[in-house]
Amino acid sequence: MNVSEAVATRRSVRAFLDKPVDLDLLRDLIERAGRAPSGGNLQPWHVHVVSGGAMDRLKAIMRARLAEAPFGDPPDYAVYPSPLGEPYRSRRFQVGEAMYAGLGIPREDKPARLRWFAGNWQFFGAPVGLFCTLRRDHGPPQWSDCGMFLQTLMLLLREAGLDSCAQEAWSAHHATVRDFLGLPEEQMLFTGMAIGFRDPDSPLNQFPVERAPIGEWARFHD
């Protein structure tokens, strides 16, 4: 698989097969993703991989946590601007509606949507979870660097036949994750990521995800 194929076939996978991931392979891919660019070569990302017994413990903790605090912790950062203007609001709405249509959950069935959304904190059944953190005193350029690292990793995973889903939803339970990982106070959770093999039969991995045409967001100056 070349880079173009990895880009074209990567998607946010939200249903995984019960199939183990080779952790030696994953370690190699994460190490190679460390070649991602970063301003001043700071390499600001910190990565925590969770699998096996640690994954079982975290899932149990999150089931209990959701029962006592379904809306999580006071946020460390806003995932989206408020208010979210156009065309971004419509893009977000369209992909969400396509996903729930694939699941057969209508807009008015809020409890069913919330139950499904809780799958985020079970990594959608993936056998491996990853968390990316960075220092609290780092700014937007370092957040951008972490994004480049994560995208590099997701493409390497795809090349290796694996799939992923970046999950900023984990930021809603940052305190629980920090306690579980034993993070120092100066480290801040950016995102989680589910890693495994996609279930090709799940409607969650089949609904269309549109992209805006290049004319909406690119200008060529000559």
Is the predicted pLDDT of residue 110 greater than 90, yes or no?
no
> Which of the four pLDDT bands, split at 50, 70 and 90, describes residue 14?
very high
* Residue 9 identity: T
Tens digit of each residue's pLDDT (9 = 90 or more) over 28-67: 999 999 999 999 999 999 999 999 999 999 999 999 999 9
Other beta carbons within 10 angstroms of residue 38's beta carbon come to 17
| H or E element in which residue 115 lies | helix 110-117
What is the structure's pLDDT at 115?
A: 86
- pLDDT tier at 100, thresholds 50, 70, 90: confident
3-state secondary structure 117-165: HHHHHHHHHCCEEEEEEEECCCCHHHHHHHHHHHHHHHHHHHHCCCEEE
| 8-37 mean pLDDT | 97
- For position 135, what pLDDT does the model report? 97
Would the pLDDT of 1 be above 90? Answer: no
Q: CA–CA separation, 162 vs 196, rounded Å? A: 6
- Is residue 153 within 8 A of residue 131, CB to CB? The reply is no
pLDDT band at 70 (very low <50, low <70, confident <90, very high): confident
- What mean pLDDT value characterizes the chain? 95
Check whether 216 has a pLDDT greater than 90.
yes
Question: How far is 140 from 72, CA to CA, in rounded Å?
Answer: 24
Structure tokens at 55: 């994954």
Specify whether the CB–CB gap between 60 and 43 falls below 8 A.
no
> Residue 102: is its pLDDT beyond 90?
no
In this structure, which amino acid lies at residue 189? L
The pLDDT tens digits for 183-210 are 999 999 999 999 999 999 999 999 889 9
Calpha distance 171→76 (Å, rounded) = 7
Structure confidence at residue 138 (pLDDT): 97
Sheet of strand 163-167, all strands in order from the earlier edge strand to the far edge:
46-51, 128-135, 187-196, 163-167
Residue written as tokens 């208010």? 83
Amino acid identity, position 176: T
Give pTM, 2 decimals.
0.94
| Residue 111 clears pLDDT 90, i.e. is over it | no
Q: Is 133 exposed, middle or buried (0-12, 13-18, 19+ CB in 10 A)?
A: buried
What is the rounded distance in angstroms from the CA atom of residue 132 to the CA atom of residue 180?
14
